[in-house]
Amino acid sequence: MQETILILDFGSQYTQLIARRVRELNVYCEIHPFNKIPEITSSIKGVILSGSPFSVRNSESPNPDLSAFKGRLPLLGICYGAQLMAQKFGGEVLPSKHREYGRANLSFIKEGTELFKGVSNNSQVWMSHADTITKIPDNYEITAGTKDVKFAGYQVLGEQTYGIQFHPEVYHTSEGSILLKNFCVTICGCSQNWTPDSFVETAVADLKQKIGLDKVVLGLSGGVDSSVAAVLLHKAIGKNLYCIFVDNGLLRKNEFENVLESYRHMGLNVKGVDAKERFYSELAGLSDPEKKRKAIGKVFIDVFDDESKQIQDVKWLAQGTIYPDIIESVSVNGGASATIKSHHNVGGLPDFMKLKIVEPLNTLFKDEVRRVGKSLHIDDAILNRHPFPGPGLAIRILGDITKEKIRILQEVDHIFIDNLKTSGLYNDVWQAGAIFLPVQSVGVMGDERTYENAVALRAVTSTDGMTADWCHLPYDFLGKVSNEIINKVKGINRVVYDISSKPPATIEWE
For the chain, the straight-line distance linking the first and the last C-alpha, in angstroms and rounded, comes to 41
Q: State the virtual CA torsion across 18, 19, 23, 25 in degrees, nearest 10.
A: 20
Strands 140-146 and 153-156: antiparallel
In angstroms, rounded to a whole number, what is the distance separating the alpha carbons of residues 109 and 122? 9
C-alpha pair distances (Å), 13 with each of 27, 46, 169, 262: 21, 21, 11, 38
Catalytic residues: 79, 167, 169
At 201, phi and psi to the nearest 5? Answer: -60, -45
Instruction: Give Cα separations from 489 to 77, 408, 469 (angstroms).
Output: 55, 7, 28
Helix, strand and coil content of the chain, in percent to the nearest 5, comes to 35, 25, 40
- Residue 180 in contact with residue 171, Cβ under 8 Å? no
Which CA distances in Å does 59 have to 33, 84, 86?
18, 12, 15
Cβ-contact 296, 279 below 8 angstroms: yes
- SS3 of 113-165: the string is CHHHCCCCCCCEEEEEEEEEEEECCCCEEEEEEECCCCCCEEEECCCCEEEEC
119: left (phi over 0), alpha (psi -120 to 50) or beta: beta
How far apart (Å, rounded) are the C-alpha atoms in residues 215 and 315? Answer: 6
Q: How far apart are CA 27 and CA 36, in angstroms?
A: 22
Single-letter amino acid code for the residue at 225: D
Residue 359: phi, psi to the nearest 5?
A: -130, 85
Backbone phi, psi, residue 433, to 5°: 180, 180
DSSP state letter for 70? B
Note the residue count of the chain. 510
Tell how far CA 172 is from the center of its chain.
Answer: 21
Alpha helices, DSSP H only, in 222-350? Answer: 224-237, 255-265, 276-283, 289-308, 323-328
Helix H or strand E encompassing 30: strand 29-33
- Residue burial 109-143, b: 16+ Cβ < 10 Å; e: rest: beeebebbeebeeebebbbbbebbbeebbeebebb
